A and B are shown apart, each in its own frame.
Chain A
Amino acid sequence: MEIKLRQNILAANDKLAAKLKEIFENKGIYVINLMASPGAGKTSFILQTIEALKDDLNVAVIEGDIASKVDAEKVREHGVAAIQINTGGACHLDANMIRGALNMLDLDSLDIIIIENVGNLVCPVEFDLGETVKMVILSVPEGDDKPLKYPSIFVESEVLVLNKIDLLDYVDFNLESLENGLNGLNPAINIFKVSCKYASGIDEWASWLKGQIRKKSKFLTD
């Protein structure tokens, strides 16, 4: 006997992610799902973002790594609440892990949660976390061909941060090739060129983010 199920394999995760999204919207929290390969500068970017926002907004960070607490400790040194999730081998965060981490945060006091996903350009994109925005960091030494090689993450992301632009003169990275690649995949993607090492380009990103948060809170009170 054949039974037609036509069920989404990820239905369980999607359902939980929808619940989390509802919680975030009710509490007025803007949630970023930050994805990138290992070493692209996710943690450095988060630290720069915290510095740019912390006078105006209450930020918390959820750190996802296979092992270790080093990232959460770095973030806490900047005076911000940080929850470390160790996936114990899993290559991505899922909605259930985020639900667990939320129990350890005071949601009523927060304006923004930055979730640092496990370093990986493939798996994280499949698992919704209830986030407001998915974004990806690409660092210059990784090469301008990454959107062509890992298309899904660049299709799904609303924002691309190009990090380590201070290295443009030292490696073979062609900005035009990157833009051409993105144009076919996701022409609407917002691109921010930054150097976390020299804190350049961060102001532009931070003011865009504040604008998005303002838009969202206006929408909430309407």
Chain B
Amino acid sequence: MHEIAMTENILSIVFIEAEKRNAKKIKKVKLEIGELTNIVGDCVQFYFELMSKDTIADGAEVEIVDVPLQAKCPRCGSVKRVENLDFLCE
């Protein structure tokens, strides 16, 4: 349920930028959400719909791009995709 706070932040960023650029209508918001962030895209979408009612973002599409988890090994420095939450480097 922390998606409510996240969605508030998303809308606040969107409104500030829209005002800077004199945007009259927001059609789409694209979000990149990291795998380990505990943010559920569907929830953001749902709250966005409710919280954007009667604003310039009312009816905007929320596109969510999932960003896979990567880790950098502190010993060898290699960066690799973490699968099944196994952070250990071979």
A residues apposed to B, CB below 8 Å: 1, 3, 5, 7, 9-13, 90-92, 94, 122-123, 125-127, 148, 151-152, 155, 183-187
Contacts and interface: CB of A to CB of B under 8 A. Distances in A.
A123 B2 contact: yes
A36 to B, nearest CB: 16
B88 A5 contact: no
Interface size class of B (residues with CB under 8 A): 20 to 34
A151 B2 CA distance: 17
Contacts of B17: 3, 5
Main secondary structure of the interface of B (DSSP, over half): loop
B36 A126 contact: no
Given A9-B10, A10-B6, 9 more contacts: A7-B13, A11-B13, A122-B2, A125-B38, A126-B6, A126-B38, A152-B38, A185-B87, A186-B87
5 contacts: A9-B10, A122-B2, A123-B38, A126-B38, A186-B87
Contacts of A13: 9
B76 interface: no
Contacts of A152: 36-38
A91 B36 contact: no
Contact of A91 (B2, B9, B23): B2
B36 A187 contact: no
Contact of A9 (B4, B6, B88): B6
A32 B21 CA distance: 41
Most buried by A among B4, B9, B12: B9
Given A91-B2, A92-B2, A126 B37 contact: yes
Given A123-B2, A155-B87, A183-B88, A12 B21 contact: no
